[in-house]
């Protein structure tokens, strides 16, 4: 593609002049001091919108949140999709054409903040329909400090492309945290699917973008530390991501919902159909307490088959 990693001098110049058309969205949910500190550092370098999904939140941070942050309170947990959609809508109102999306515990460095918008601008010169670029994320608990490969869909399994080299990598899916969205195409692609609430929100949007003829690229030389789920479970020396029982409900429910949709490629469906029973076995044998995880996963499967979406309601 002819796009290579920029040199140190270029990054230094860019750090002093982050594009005024670029903004960041950060989603809060019961944030601790470190999360607030991350947002305060972020707004020093880029305009920042915080969407707070904390139940009953009324901006009760006792003045610790920087006044330059555009703070929007949801009053209850409306899910990651709704929060990101609201944040993007606010950036569009501000006149931004590029959005960087972050979780509350994300601590992006200057390289990511400047390099992703810069690379997107370069890619647009040769691919005018690029909708999303994203970094290689690093989870020390899973990969021993190595960046996680980028993903393409393949029948029966995901094809993992190593995150290395000086050229952007075509991808079928990028996680939302740390990603850089081209807002010029936001209305054409449409917002994130609100009723998915949390899991597979980014995957559904990526599939939709590609179905409409847009492109996604992983940027191998830009890294972001990101924890995928809770404490991993180790099976025969290999680490697997784990989540709470509630998250496993959404994971299975939304996976089933996507599998039932005609507009989702069979290349992804086939690999997910193979992985779902493996996940259930892992929950039943290795997670503690076992029963809540298995029960919530099965409830998620049942709700997915019934077409029931939205937030999980107490039964």
pLDDT higher than threshold 60 for residue 280: yes
More confident residue, 15 or 257: 257
> Mean pLDDT throughout 280-307?
90
What is the structure's pLDDT at 17?
A: 41
> Mean pLDDT throughout 97-109?
93
Confidence label for 16 from pLDDT (cuts 50, 70 and 90): very low
Confidence label for 141 from pLDDT (cuts 50, 70 and 90): low
- Whole-angstrom distance, CA of residue 53 vs CA of residue 70: 14
What is the structure's pLDDT at 243?
A: 77
What is the structure's pLDDT at 20?
A: 58
* Under 8 Å between Cβ of 29 and 104: yes
What is the structure's pLDDT at 14?
A: 40
- Give the domain ranges of the chain: 8-225, 233-306
Q: Label the pairing between strands 180-182 and 130-138.
A: antiparallel
- The distance from CA 142 to its chain's CA centroid, rounded to whole angstroms, is 17
pLDDT higher than threshold 70 for residue 15: no
* Under 8 Å between Cβ of 10 and 114: no
Q: Distance of CA 280 to CAs 236, 238, 274, 295, Å?
A: 17, 17, 11, 10
Fold classified for 8-225: Spore Coat Polysaccharide Biosynthesis Protein SpsA; Chain A (3.90.550)
Task: Output the average pLDDT for the chain.
Answer: 89
Rounded to 10 deg, the angle between the 8-16 and 110-126 helix axes is 100
Q: Distance of CA 92 to CAs 43, 51, 85, 163, 314, Å?
A: 17, 15, 11, 31, 36
pLDDT higher than threshold 90 for residue 33: yes
Q: Using one digit for the tens of pLDDT, what is the confidence trace for 155-165?
A: 988 899 999 99
The least confident of 57-71, 89-103, 208-222 is 57-71
């Amino acid at each position: 593609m002819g796009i290579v990693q920029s040199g140190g001098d270029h990054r230094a110049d860019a750090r002093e002049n982050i594009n005024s058309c670029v903004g960041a969205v950060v989603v809060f949910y019961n944030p601790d001091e470190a999360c607030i500190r991350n947002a305060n550092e972020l707004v020093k370098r880029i305009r920042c919108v915080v969407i707070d999904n904390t139940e009953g939140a009324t901006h009760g941070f006792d003045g610790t949140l920087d006044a330059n942050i555009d703070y929007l309170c949801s009053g209850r947990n409306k899910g990651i999709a709704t929060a990101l959609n609201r944040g993007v809508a606010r950036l569009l109102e501000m006149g931004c054409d590029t959005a960087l999306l972050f979780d509350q515990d994300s601590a992006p460095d200057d390289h990511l903040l400047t390099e992703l918008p810069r690379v997107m601008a370069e890619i647009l010169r040769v691919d005018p329909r690029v909708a999303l670029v994203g970094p290689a994320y690093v989870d020390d608990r899973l990969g021993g400090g190595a960046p996680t490969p980028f993903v393409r869909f393949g029948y029966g399994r995901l094809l993992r492309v190593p995150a290395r080299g000086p050229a952007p990598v075509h991808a079928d899916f990028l996680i939302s945290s740390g990603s850089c969205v081209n807002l010029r195409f936001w209305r054409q692609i449409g917002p994130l699917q609100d009723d998915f609430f949390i899991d597979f929100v980014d995957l559904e949007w990526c599939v939709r973008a590609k179905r409409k003829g847009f492109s996604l690229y992983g940027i191998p030389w830009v890294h972001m530390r990101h924890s995928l789920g809770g404490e991993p479970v180790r099976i025969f020396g290999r680490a697997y991501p784990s989540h709470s029982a509630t998250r496993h409900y959404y994971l299975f429910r939304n996976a089933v919902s996507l599998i039932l949709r005609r507009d989702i490629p069979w290349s992804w469906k086939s690999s997910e159909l193979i992985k779902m029973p493996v996940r259930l076995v892992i929950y039943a044998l290795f997670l503690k307490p076992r029963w809540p995880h298995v029960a919530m996963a099965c409830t998620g499967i049942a709700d997915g088959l019934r077409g029931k979406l939205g937030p999980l309601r107490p039964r």
